[in-house]
Chain A
Amino acid sequence: MRTFNFLAMNKNKIGREIPKNIEGIGELEPYSGAWKKLKKGWMDELTSPPPNKAKMPHADKVCDTLEEAIEKSNPKDGMTVSFHHHMRNGENILVRSIDILAKMGIKNITLASSSLNESHNPIIKYLEDGTITRIWTSGIRGKLGQAISSGVMDLPITIHSHGGRVRAIHTGKISIDLAIIAASAADEEGNATGSTGKSAFGSLGYAHIDSQYAKQVMVVTDDLVDYPCYPLSIKQIYVDFVVKVDSIGDSSKIASGTTRITKSPMDLRIAKLGADVIENSGFFNEGFSFQVGAGGASLAVAKFIREKMKRKNIKGSFLLGGVTSYGVDMLNEGLFKTIFDVQSFDAAVSTSLYNNKNHIEISAGHYASPFNCGCVTNKLDIVVLGALEIDLDFNVNVITGANGEVRGASGGHSDTASGAQLTVVVCPSFRGRISTINKRVQTVVTPGETVDVLVTERGICVNPMKPELEESLKKAGLNIKKIEDLQQEVEKIVGKAKEVKYSDKIVGLVEYRDGTIVDVIRQVIEE
Chain B
Amino acid sequence: MLYIPGNNPAMLLHGSVYGADSLLLDLEDAVALNQKDAARNLIKQMIKHVDYGKTEVCVRVNHLDTPFGMEDLKAIVPLQPDAIRYPKTESVEELQRLITLVEQIEDEHGLPHDKMTIHIMIETALGVQNVFDIAKYSKRVDAITIGGQDLTADMNIKSSKNSSGIDLARKMIVMAAKANRIDAIDTVYVDIDDEEGLKQETEFIRQIGFSGKAVINPRQIDPIHEIYTPSDDEIRKAYRVVKEFNKNKAKGIGVFAIDGKMVDAPVVTRARYVLELSGVDHENI
Residues of A within 8 A of B (CB): 263, 265-266, 268-269, 272, 457-458, 493
Contacts and interface: CB of A to CB of B under 8 A. Distances in A.
Contact of A493 (B13, B18, B219): B13
B51 to A, nearest CB: 8
B217 A269 contact: no
Grouping DSSP codes into helix (H, G, I), strand (E, B) and loop, the B interface class, with mixed when no group exceeds half, is helix
Interface in B10-66: 13-14, 17-19, 50
A265 B218 contact: yes
A272 B13 contact: no
Given A269-B18, A269-B19, A263 B219 contact: yes
B222 A265 contact: no
B22 to A, nearest CB: 16
A271 to B, nearest CB: 11
A121 to B, nearest CB: 31
Contacts of B17: 266, 269, 457-458
List 10 tightest A-B contacts by C-beta distance, closest first: A265-B218, A457-B17, A269-B18, A265-B219, A458-B17, A268-B219, A269-B17, A265-B18, A265-B217, A269-B218
A512 to B, nearest CB: 34
A493 B50 CA distance: 8
Contacts, number: 21
Contacts of B14: 266, 457
Interface of B: 13-14, 17-19, 50, 217-219, 222
Nearest to A429: B17
A458 B16 CA distance: 9
21 contacts: A263-B219, A265-B18, A265-B217, A265-B218, A265-B219, A266-B14, A266-B17, A266-B218, A268-B218, A268-B219, A269-B17, A269-B18, A269-B19, A269-B218, A272-B222, A457-B14, A457-B17, A457-B18, A458-B17, A493-B13, A493-B50
A263 B217 CA distance: 10
Contacts of A272: 222
A265 B4 CA distance: 13
Nearest to B16: A458
A265 B222 CA distance: 11
Max count, chain B CB within 10 A of own CB: residue among A263, A265, A266: A265
Contacts of B219: 263, 265, 268
A458 B13 CA distance: 11
A266 to B, nearest CB: 6
B217 to A, nearest CB: 6
Contacts of A458: 17
Nearest to B222: A272
Nearest to B18: A269
A197 B102 CA distance: 71
